[in-house]
């Protein structure tokens, strides 16, 4: 999920990590096992004068399968399910409006499975996960294609972000 946000004007930084579960300072092996209740996530810091929160939420939708309640593409399990974590009433309102617009668009036959949840503690992932798509470009792209993500995004949105 980092690349589309990193390429967006107004995004100051992204950080890969874990959130949503009770485990304090989880590690990748713990989270990937599915035992922590955390999801893999990214924290997006942005300049609201250059990009709106709503635009970032809309970008998020265009980079996931919002109807998949069991994970994303080849990654299965709660730790890979999508969610939007909000930290204010305004963010919740904007995320809900965006989700409703997506539901009403008729683009999907299945219901939107991505919940909007209150943000809790965010734990940065290990250094080797940060900007993985830059550090391991060839592997990242092979996985993006092999997992079905690239094709899904192109079929659904006409372009892969």
- Report the CATH number at residue 102: 3.30.1060.10
Q: Domain containing 80: what range?
A: 2-157
Q: How far apart are CA 116 and CA 110, in angstroms?
A: 17
Number of domains in the chain: 1
Q: What is the pLDDT of residue 158?
A: 87
Q: What is the pLDDT of residue 51?
A: 98
Q: What is the pLDDT of residue 55?
A: 97
Q: What is the pLDDT of residues 3-61, one digit of tens each?
A: 999 999 999 999 999 999 999 999 999 999 999 999 999 999 999 999 999 999 999 99
Q: What is the pLDDT of residue 117?
A: 98
Q: How far apart are CA 153 and CA 47, in angstroms?
A: 27
Q: How far apart are CA 125 and CA 1, in angstroms?
A: 14
pLDDT band at 161 (very low <50, low <70, confident <90, very high): low
Q: What is the pLDDT of residues 85-139, one digit of tens each?
A: 999 999 999 999 999 999 999 999 999 999 999 999 999 999 999 999 999 899 9
Residue carrying the six token digits 């999801």: 39
Residues 112/67, Cβ–Cβ less than 8 Å: yes
């Amino acid at each position: 999920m980092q690349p589309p946000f990193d390429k967006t004007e107004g995004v100051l930084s992204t950080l890969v990590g874990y959130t949503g579960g009770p485990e304090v300072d989880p590690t990748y092996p713990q989270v990937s096992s599915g035992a922590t209740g955390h999801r893999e996530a990214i924290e997006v810091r942005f300049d609201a004068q250059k990009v709106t929160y709503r635009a970032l939420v809309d970008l998020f939708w265009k980079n996931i399968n919002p109807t998949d309640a069991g994970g994303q593409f080849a990654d299965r399990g709660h730790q890979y399910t999508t969610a939007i974590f909000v930290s204010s009433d305004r963010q919740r309102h904007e995320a809900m409006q965006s989700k409703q617009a997506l539901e009403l668009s008729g683009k999907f036959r299945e219901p939107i499975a991505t919940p909007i949840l209150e943000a809790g503690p965010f734990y940065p992932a290990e250094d080797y996960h940060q900007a993985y798509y830059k550090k391991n470009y060839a592997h990242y792209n092979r996985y993006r294609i092999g997992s079905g993500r690239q094709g899904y995004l192109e079929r659904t949105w006409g372009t892969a972000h």
